[in-house]
């Protein structure tokens, strides 16, 4: 399962690669990264068919995660990728907006990677 | 008429005696005066009984002149010299009368009425002069009383003015203290606005510190597994990752450290110590803080941040926390302007805040640009004035730009230029000498 992680913090990348070291080695998951909403849209433009799940931060300079979510829902319908939103502000407002805009799930920072793994496994077996 | 000379001498002595009363000189002269006046009276009696007219006159004049001569040589009588001088005509008349009576007795006998008149006239004149000088003295005395009164008045007024001056100085001191407090509270207000931004900025590195420590612990377990399996290569690769993670933990720890230090620096009373500072770092730090601060309050708000930081910019001598406050203030204003415009313009509007740094000759230039509401022409002149604010009551101190102006222009010999178009955005250009 290919997962696109969108976060403006570059260090998210080694973190995911290490956290999912075994899963990646066992070819359970495959990760790609984008540093902004714009980046992510460009990536999807080329490879949207490969990506099964998008994990996006909400709070990013430029295009926010919520805007990215809306664009994805608007532009990539066939098949609709799963989108999980992550934000540092674990508040109702962002949660509601993410859900309104069609997010499949919602995670708060700091990320609980065990919970994330579980959720990803649930998605991949669905 | 020889009595007039002795009378004049007697009165003169009594008068001087009276003048000396209530002065330190009285004790010194008082006894002598009494003796002298007594002597004059006795002398007159003796002379009158025993001697002829011509001798009476000459001796009377001599007594008068003798007293005047004596007084003239005494320092203590200096102020009363006028009183002695006016006896000269009387003495002169006495001498002339005496000599005439002696030399030309017949002539004197025939005309002695004239001589008497002359004597009386000289005596009267002398008396008149004394009276006049006494009046003058009294006037002088009055004047001196008035002077004293005036001096007292002046002293009172001076005391009053001194008191007022002290009160004013006290008020000025109070105002200065209030100003310092206002500056501090403005700092604290802007810090308050920043709290959420700071929390976010610290939360991120802390998350990384926690995550990288956790994952490193897991990696060590995995490394042990690989080692027991005998896969040295894989174990080495894991060790490399762990080492990298430790560096990352350190990096993010320092990042949080820097933010906390910056916050403390911002809140501390300015030390006013100029030191070389990296303007790009300062601008980047405060831009993030301002942005996250606003986002914490308005979660739907999002803006595009464009930074053009000139590379290899020389460091400039500045008070970093003060310039940081200026930048923070400009960023806060810029975000406020785009936020307001977004609220009015709706979805089609893309809020943008741009920060550029560059070297212009011997100045570092920082441009903060936004595409927000802009500044209407009629208030452009006022924006640097203390307490001027367009924000609703309680939301802005109105001190941000005025303090920024003081910091840049007065404390750093720099410049602030403003360009703005109502409804289209604003541009603040700061230049600070390298």
Gap from B330 CA to chain A (nearest CA, Å): 18
CB atoms near residue B218 (< 10 Å): 17
Which among A18, A62, A111 has the least Cβ separation from residue B241? Answer: A18
Whole-number Å distance between alpha carbons of B246 and B330: 37
Residues of chain A contacting B206 with CB distance shorter than 8 Å: 110
List of residues 6+ apart from B214 with CB closer than 8 A: A113
* Cis-peptide, bond into residue A12, ω within 30° of zero: no
Best B195, B203, B211, B252 residue to mutate vs chain A (most A CBs within 10 Å): B211
**A·B CB contacts under 8 A:** 65
Which among A11, A61, A110 has the least Cβ separation from residue B210? Answer: A110
Structure tokens at B121: 């006239």
Residues of chain A contacting B300 with CB distance shorter than 8 Å: 93, 97
Structure tokens at B49: 């009984």
Q: Do A14 and B203 touch (CB under 8 A)?
A: no
pLDDT tens by residue, chain B, 434 residues:
678 888 888 888 888 888 888 888 788 888 888 888 888 888 888 888 888 778 888 888 888 888 888 888 888 888 778 888 888 888 888 888 888 888 888 888 888 888 888 888 988 998 888 888 888 888 888 999 999 999 999 999 999 999 999 999 999 999 988 888 887 777 777 666 667 667 777 888 898 999 999 999 999 998 999 999 999 998 999 999 999 999 999 999 988 887 777 777 666 656 678 888 889 988 998 898 888 778 777 767 888 889 999 988 888 888 888 898 899 889 999 999 998 898 888 778 889 999 999 998 889 999 999 999 999 888 888 888 877 888 876 677 777 888 888 889 988 999 999 999 988 999 999 999 98
Whole-number Å distance between alpha carbons of B65 and B90: 10
**R_g of chain B, CA atoms, integer Å:** 52
ipTM of the prediction: 0.83
List of residues 6+ apart from B362 with CB closer than 8 A: B433, B434
Q: Do A15 and B208 touch (CB under 8 A)?
A: yes
Structure tokens at B316: 């400039």
- In sequence order, the β-bridge partners of residue A87 are A108
Q: Do B302 and A11 touch (CB under 8 A)?
A: no
List of residues 6+ apart from A28 with CB closer than 8 A: A1, A22, A124
Residue B200 sits at the chain A interface (C-beta within 8 Å): yes
| Residue count of chain B | 434
Domain A2-90 class? Answer: alpha beta
Q: Do B219 and A18 touch (CB under 8 A)?
A: yes
Q: CA angle, corner B282, sides to B277 and B285, nearest 5?
A: 155
Q: Spell out the domains of chain B, with CATH numbers in brackets.
A: 3-154 (no CATH), 271-434 (3.30.565.10)
Best A13, A56, A89 residue to mutate vs chain B (most B CBs within 10 Å): A89
């Amino acid at each position: 399962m290919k997962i696109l992680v969108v976060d403006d913090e570059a260090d998210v990348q080694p973190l995911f690669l290490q956290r999912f070291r075994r899963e990646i080695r066992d070819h359970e998951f495959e990760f790609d990264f984008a540093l902004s909403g714009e980046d992510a849209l460009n990536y999807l433009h080329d490879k949207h068919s490969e990506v099964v799940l998008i994990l996006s931060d909400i709070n990013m300079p430029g295009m926010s995660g919520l805007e990215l979510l809306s664009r994805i829902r608007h532009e990539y319908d066939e098949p609709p990728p799963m989108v999980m939103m992550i934000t540092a502000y674990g508040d109702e407002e962002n949660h509601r907006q993410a859900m309104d805009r069609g997010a499949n799930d919602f995670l708060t920072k700091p990320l609980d990677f065990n919970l994330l793994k579980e959720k990803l496994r649930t998605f991949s077996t669905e | 008429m020889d009595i007039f000379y002795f009378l004049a001498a007697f009165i003169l002595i009594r008068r001087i005696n009276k003048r000396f009363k209530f002065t330190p000189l009285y004790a010194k002269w008082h006894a002598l005066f009494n003796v002298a006046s007594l002597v004059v009276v006795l002398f007159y009696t003796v002379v009158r009984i025993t001697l002829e007219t011509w001798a009476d006159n000459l001796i009377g004049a001599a007594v008068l002149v003798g007293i005047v001569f004596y007084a003239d040589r005494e320092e203590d009588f200096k102020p009363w010299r006028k009183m002695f001088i006016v006896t000269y005509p009387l003495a002169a008349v006495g001498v002339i009368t005496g000599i005439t009576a002696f030399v030309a007795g017949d002539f004197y006998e025939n005309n002695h009425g004239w001589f008497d008149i002359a004597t009386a006239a000289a005596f009267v004149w002398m008396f008149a002069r004394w009276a006049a000088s006494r009046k003058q003295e009294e006037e002088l005395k009055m004047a001196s009383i008035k002077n004293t009164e005036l001096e007292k008045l002046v002293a009172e007024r001076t005391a009053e003015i001194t008191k007022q001056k002290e009160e004013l100085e006290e008020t000025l001191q109070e105002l200065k203290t209030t100003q310092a407090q206002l500056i501090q509270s403005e700092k604290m207000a802007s810090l308050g606005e920043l709290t959420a931004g700071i929390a976010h900025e610290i939360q991120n590195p802390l998350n990384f510190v926690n995550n990288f420590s956790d994952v490193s612990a897991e990696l060590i377990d995995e490394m042990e597994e690989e080692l027991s399996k005998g896969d040295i290569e894989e174990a080495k690769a894991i060790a490399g990752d762990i080492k990298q993670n430790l560096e990352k933990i350190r990096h993010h720890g320092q990042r949080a450290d820097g933010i906390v230090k910056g916050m403390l620096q911002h809140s501390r009373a300015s030390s006013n110590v100029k030191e070389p500072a990296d303007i790009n770092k300062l601008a980047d730090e405060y831009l993030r803080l301002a942005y996250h601060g606003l986002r914490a309050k308005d979660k739907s708000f999002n803006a595009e941040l464009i930074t053009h930081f000139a590379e290899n910019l020389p460091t400039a001598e500045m008070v970093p926390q003060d310039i940081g406050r200026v930048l923070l203030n400009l960023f806060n204003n810029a975000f406020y302007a785009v936020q307001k415009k977004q609220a009015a313009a709706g979805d089609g509007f893309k809020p943008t805040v741009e920060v550029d740094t560059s070297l212009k000759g011997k100045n570092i230039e920082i441009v903060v640009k936004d595409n927000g509401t802009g500044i209407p022409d009629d208030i452009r002149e006022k924006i640097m004035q203390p307490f001027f604010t367009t924000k609703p009551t309680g939301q802005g101190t109105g001190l941000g730009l005025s303090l920024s102006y003081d910091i840049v222009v007065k404390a750093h010999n720099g410049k602030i230029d403003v360009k703005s178009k109502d409804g289209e955005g604003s541009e603040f250009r700061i230049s600070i000498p390298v």
